[in-house]
Structure 1
Amino acid sequence: MSQVSKASIIQPETILDFIDGVTQRRDTPEERVRQEILKSLVREYGYKKEQIGVEESIKFGSNRKAVDVAIWEPGKAHTQENIYIIVECKDPKTKAKGKKDGVDQMHSYASACMNSTYGMWTNGDELLTFRYVVDDAGKRGPEAVPDLPHAGGEVPDDAPRFDQLRPAASDSLLYSFRRCHNYIAGNQGIQKAEAFLELLKIIFCKIQDERDSETPTFYITPTERQGAAGKKKCRKRIEALFGSVKQSYETIFKADEHIALTDDVLAYIVAQLQMYSLLESDVDVKGHAYETIVGSNLRGDKGQFFTPRNMCHMMVRMVDPSENDVILDPAMGTCGFLVTAMNYVLEKIGNSVDASGRSKTAKQEALIARKREFLSKHIVGIDFDPILVRASKMNMVMNNDGTGQLFHANSLEPFSGFEPKLQKALRLDAADVAANKALQPGHGVTAIMTNPPFGSKIPIEDPAILESFDLGHTWSWSEEDAEWRMEPKLFSSQPPEILFIERCVRLLEPGVGVAALVIPNGILGNPGLGYVRQWILRHAQILGSVDMHPDAFQPNVGVQTSVLVLRRWDSEEEAYCKDGTFQDYKMFMAICDHVGHDKRGQTTYVRDDDGYPIVREQTTAVTGKVGSEEESGHTSTERVVDDETMAIADAFLEWRRDQ
């Protein structure tokens, strides 16, 4: 996202209208839903801002009412008689069947606008679309359709074409995933986690269809939605896709798995997703939507909490990986770091190829070859939770990769316990495995970004694991030598985050490998953990330390953390440090006071000295219509998010270049 320097201010607790860029509207849940829909209408559906009216007054009986959003066809006068589409937006607490503000209200407005053809009703969590048709008896009424038409088009009565699908923009895909997940949980009679896995299957089917089908088979027509026979036709198509999914992704789905949704629920989910092009959608849009849904299904009793996307971007940029690096997250969760790193490097590859001076054909061939090499050998992820491994592979698939080198394993077990494929992916040979540490140049990984599980509630107690770690042993302070000494005795238990520090350093290639780790602040300041800090200093160079704001992981957890960036010493440097003399070097330090949200998870914005929010004209690049090589830029005036994570990353890279 690029921003021009010109900025202005608006009144507190207001939102600047997306359509005219001038009107300040009260910041309410309902208004946030409307502004999101307005962005979607312009960025996804292709309607021009000048075709759209907000709070459009219409004559309604003897009174006048305000339609939330009205859309006119190009060239038509903006009159009540010419309204083409009506959109009603409500706050999330309003129900579609509500007598006052539900769908019936929108239908009554459509009746007052006799030439209106389509209507949409949404509260953010629910979204319903209709086409107004005249039946054989001459009565005009609503017919459920899967979507509004793209600008200049019509909602297809039969199977859609691939060139009719639209990339998701802003948070529209998040709302769609959330609607689908909630609908499954509410109408299928299953728990949230089970609902998530069923949604996972359907998303896979959608991507499989976009990748492999000659024409779309992931769809349900308006006619099919009207009866049981049509819904069964839809099920038959989706089950055929799921059969192909199971063949393509044998490591994710078992051969005997099936889609457990009822015909009614399946029809709803397909209708919600069919007009998106997931493969063409922006990676951040997909990643945010997907990880939000996954996060809502995670329990915190395993120390799992997702790293906010801005922190992922900050840490990846600080490590600054290239296509030659072997990139690892040993506690990958749903693959947020790896997807961010993957796309960071792919952008570098694309820029390199574009600047190469090759012909267009040669550029495309070079791009494909370099991407294939990088994706197949340079991305490695590990997690102990099989559901998260499954979710991670899904995240990779959504981001146009295969399933990557993603492994279900315990990252803390001795190297000898890793399966051979994992040992190979980590560039470990027999000597490394036997020593339980990568010591030779060219062995180990070169870039790690991770947020390991935290907490005394999930201690590591297995002596076989503790024995293999220096930090699994007890340590005592020597007044005589003014240092900590490792003892033969093991701890009875150790929090996992302490062992993960040692494991990450051990997995780095000596002298080369760099890691960015999220760690609790107690490790950096607790007097009793001085032995951990000594171990870090003697095995790695601290390149940087960023003290994160206490709200960084809110609203999920209030743990106070820092980001530590380390480079593993080579053998000579490490031997020098172990002699008792630490190398004298500079390190980068920063305090991140602004993370873009508060403790409730609500977005925070930059304000002037008097407390007024600052707005700035911003241009967002949005992928154009499927099949088009062009991208369209949408400019709007938006509040500036109060987030300094990327500024810190840029300052760190500049500092490193100057060293």
Structure 2
Amino acid sequence: MALSGPEHLKVRLPVIDALKTLGWEDGQLQWRPEWRVPQSPNEAAKREGGRSFSHWPVDLVVFKDPEMPADWQNVVGLFEFKKPTLNEGVSQLEIYLAREPRARFGVWTNGTKSATVYKLPDGTFKTVKRNDLRLPTASDDFERATSKALTFADLSTPSERELKMSFQALLDAVVARDSIVTRSENQLDQLCNMLLLKLESDITASYVKTKPVMFQLGKTENETGTKIREEFDQMVNQREEVFREEQSPQLLLDDHTIKEIVFAWSGWNLVGVGAEAVSSAFQVFRRANLKAGEGQYFTPARVVEAAVRVMDIQPTDKIIDPACGTGGFLIEAFRDINERIGNEAAVTKWANRQVFGVDKDSINVKLARAMMLVLGDGSTHIHIGDSLREDRWSSDYPYLSPALRDGAFTVVLTNPPFGRRLRLSARECELNHYSISWAAGKEQRYVDLELGLVFLERSYRLLAPGGRVGIILPETYFFSPTYAWLHEWMQSRFIVRGLVNVPMEAFQGFCRAKTNLYIFEKKTTRRRA
């Protein structure tokens, strides 16, 4: 629409004035320049990347937050004034709303008649047509439930990109607006709880695809919040293995936040998208919460897949990741075995008996257990704990002593935290008898040592003779003169079986160190004659 002419003067400007009287702020309204809606998902990806894209102009756009103008992630509504008929205007709005992932409604009017189009959780639309001009207030509820209850058959499978975009938007919403959960670690835990509930809903609904799913909007915000909290409490009782270390787990988010999350996810099938994609998308939450220097780096899917293939894990193997994070290596090992065997019952039995994981972060562990449940189980032996500080196991982590027995595993596959600042103290190394620290001290004293190297000795202890370890570590450990002592320590313990280059861009944004995947075999101890 031109910035002059009858439609601009008689429709757009009066509508803008009316919206301001209904509570919308100047910073929430944009009509000059006109907003541009991408013409396809591919063009939307270009917009997200800051590139030029093919678009349709929109007469007026409204933003949810006046502090975030001109941001596509803040778009809540679209207005069109120039189509000659109501039906044509509605059709145009439906096309535009489908291309704006954050938009919840659209309004068409010619100044006398009007129509409001609401985007529903399943991707369909609900249109309210009127013979007069009716405009939304800034306090209106734009998140409408579907006209009939959603069933599993109604759910669509999102792309990993859509999932990540949704997770980022919801993280922003929780951080900015939730009135109850304000600490970042608690926010992350609560988002994880909502994700677990959604996964549980999808798993249950997949058994009877025509039955209404549990995870969907109620008639009101309060009804939605109450229902979702009740369902969460029920899940906690049924999934004891996921929450076993938590004291009285609860869903603490306020009703408004719960409703926004349910609206965003209720139309999706998260089981169908796959455990690895959900886990990858969850890193949007995790990365926002990580503190600099913690050394936790999400292992990219292509690195995980390559590592599992190289390790050639067999159904007879007993596998552990002593720094498992959200379970990427364990999930991929499960998938790989399942593809090769094709016997779901046998793979589930293998996972329940032979797959182990440990991580210090309770949220990582919770999500890893959930992902294994999605795959068909294997969550039994995913533990919260510190793999390195064995002296604390009996007091702090009673599950670890029987789980992490020396010599009990045939495969260790891990990407441990590493970095010069991430060290186990000399005293802790001495308490736990880490010979690698003694070797670094030239066999005269124990010294502070990088965690990555201590994990190498932990892997050695966990392995049975002839077992193999795949471990991602900085290249400098094995090629710098500073670590010349490491070769002698390794020589009596491991046989080098392989080295896989990990491109530096794989961990771009997290870690600048050049890393490789090292494959070692534990030497068989020779018995004395």
Q: CA deviation at 1:94?
A: 3.0
**1:357 corresponds to:** none
**1:299 corresponds to:** 291
* CA offsets 1:434-474 (integer angstroms, 9 cap, x no match): xxx53xxxxx2111211111123232115354351211214
**1:159 corresponds to:** 149
SS of the residue corresponding to residue 558 of structure 1 reads coil
Cα distance change, pair 111–34 in 1 and its aligned pair in 2 (3 A): farther
Q: Distance in 2 between matches of 1:568 and 1:274?
A: 48
**2:471 corresponds to:** 517
Q: Distance in 2 between matches of 1:34 and 1:343?
A: 39
**2:419 corresponds to:** 455
SS of the residue corresponding to residue 552 of structure 1 reads helix
Q: Distance in 2 between matches of 1:372 and 1:309?
A: 22
Equivalent of 1:232, from 217, 222, 230? 222
Cα distance change, pair 570–174 in 1 and its aligned pair in 2 (3 A): same
* CA offsets 1:619-652 (integer angstroms, 9 cap, x no match): xxxxxxxxxxxxxxxxxxxxxxxxxxxxxxxxxx
Pairing 1:95-174 to 2, within 5 Å after superposition: 95=71, 102=75, 104-108=77-81, 113-116=88-91, 118=94, 121=97, 127-130=102-105, 139-149=114-124, 156-174=146-164
Equivalent of 1:186, from 173, 176, 180? 176
Q: CA deviation at 1:278?
A: 1.3
Equivalent of 2:369, from 383, 393, 402? 393
Unaligned runs of 5+ in 1: 1-16, 36-53, 57-64, 68-91, 225-229, 351-366, 429-436, 439-443, 477-485, 577-659
* CA offsets 1:196-237 (integer angstroms, 9 cap, x no match): 22211111221222233653121116xx3xxxxx11111122
Contact 2:105 2:118 in 1 (8 A): yes
Percent identity over paired residues? 20
Q: Distance in 2 between matches of 1:517 and 1:543?
A: 12
- Supply the AA of the counterpart residue of 1:499: V
**1:81 corresponds to:** none
Cα distance change, pair 309–184 in 1 and its aligned pair in 2 (3 A): same
Equivalent of 2:450, from 474, 478, 495? 495
- How large is the Cα RMSD of the aligned pairs? 3.7
- Supply the AA of the counterpart residue of 1:148: G
- Supply the AA of the counterpart residue of 1:345: I
SS of the residue corresponding to residue 275 of structure 1 reads coil
Equivalent of 1:505, from 455, 460, 464? 460
Q: CA deviation at 1:529?
A: 1.8
Scaled by the length of structure 1, the TM-score of the pair is 0.61
Q: CA deviation at 1:552?
A: 3.2
* CA offsets 1:102-146 (integer angstroms, 9 cap, x no match): 55545447787335173554898x612447799xx9642233532
Q: Distance in 2 between matches of 1:244 and 1:32?
A: 44
Scaled by the length of structure 2, the TM-score of the pair is 0.74
- Supply the AA of the counterpart residue of 2:177: N
Q: Distance in 2 between matches of 1:276 and 1:240?
A: 21
Equivalent of 2:215, from 195, 218, 239? 218
Q: CA deviation at 1:18?
A: 11
SS of the residue corresponding to residue 510 of structure 1 reads strand
- Supply the AA of the counterpart residue of 2:454: L
Q: Distance in 2 between matches of 1:396 and 1:278?
A: 14
Q: Distance in 2 between matches of 1:220 and 1:107?
A: 28
Contact 1:171 1:285 in 2 (8 A): no
1:470 maps to 2:418:
no
Q: Distance in 1 between matches of 2:459 and 2:153?
A: 46
Cα distance change, pair 121–533 in 1 and its aligned pair in 2 (3 A): farther
**1:273 corresponds to:** 265
Equivalent of 2:233, from 220, 229, 243? 243
- Supply the AA of the counterpart residue of 1:452: P
- Supply the AA of the counterpart residue of 2:315: E
Cα distance change, pair 346–93 in 1 and its aligned pair in 2 (3 A): farther
Cα distance change, pair 133–528 in 1 and its aligned pair in 2 (3 A): closer
Q: Distance in 1 between matches of 2:114 and 2:167?
A: 35
- Supply the AA of the counterpart residue of 2:213: P
**2:47 corresponds to:** 29
Equivalent of 2:329, from 337, 345, 350? 337
Higher relative contact order (CA 8 A, sep 6+): 1
Unaligned runs of 5+ in 2: 1-37, 60-67, 126-144, 206-210
Q: Distance in 1 between matches of 2:301 and 2:440?
A: 37
**1:407 corresponds to:** 383
Q: Distance in 1 between matches of 2:183 and 2:51?
A: 27
Q: CA deviation at 1:330?
A: 0.6
**1:551 corresponds to:** 505
SS of the residue corresponding to residue 272 of structure 2 reads coil
1:379 maps to 2:371:
no
Contact 2:305 2:332 in 1 (8 A): yes
Pairing 1:314-333 to 2, within 5 Å after superposition: 314-333=306-325
Q: Distance in 1 between matches of 2:315 and 2:50?
A: 40
**1:529 corresponds to:** 483
Cα distance change, pair 414–231 in 1 and its aligned pair in 2 (3 A): closer
Contact 1:130 1:145 in 2 (8 A): no
SS of the residue corresponding to residue 543 of structure 1 reads strand
Query: How many aligned residue pairs are there?
Result: 449
**2:301 corresponds to:** 309
**2:248 corresponds to:** 256
* CA offsets 1:300-328 (integer angstroms, 9 cap, x no match): 33222222222111111110212221111
SS of the residue corresponding to residue 534 of structure 1 reads helix
Q: Distance in 2 between matches of 1:403 and 1:563?
A: 26
Cα distance change, pair 20–446 in 1 and its aligned pair in 2 (3 A): closer
SS of the residue corresponding to residue 412 of structure 2 reads strand
Q: Distance in 1 between matches of 2:410 and 2:183?
A: 41
Q: Distance in 2 between matches of 1:121 and 1:20?
A: 12
Contact 1:308 1:552 in 2 (8 A): yes
- Supply the AA of the counterpart residue of 1:169: S
Contact 2:440 2:486 in 1 (8 A): no
* CA offsets 1:165-218 (integer angstroms, 9 cap, x no match): 112224111112222121111111524433222211111221222233653121
* CA offsets 1:547-594 (integer angstroms, 9 cap, x no match): 43333321112112122111111123x999xxxxxxxxxxxxxxxxxx
Q: Distance in 2 between matches of 1:93 and 1:28?
A: 19
Cα distance change, pair 384–197 in 1 and its aligned pair in 2 (3 A): closer
1:568 maps to 2:522:
yes
- Supply the AA of the counterpart residue of 1:377: R
SS of the residue corresponding to residue 381 of structure 1 reads strand
Q: CA deviation at 1:259?
A: 2.1
SS of the residue corresponding to residue 143 of structure 1 reads strand
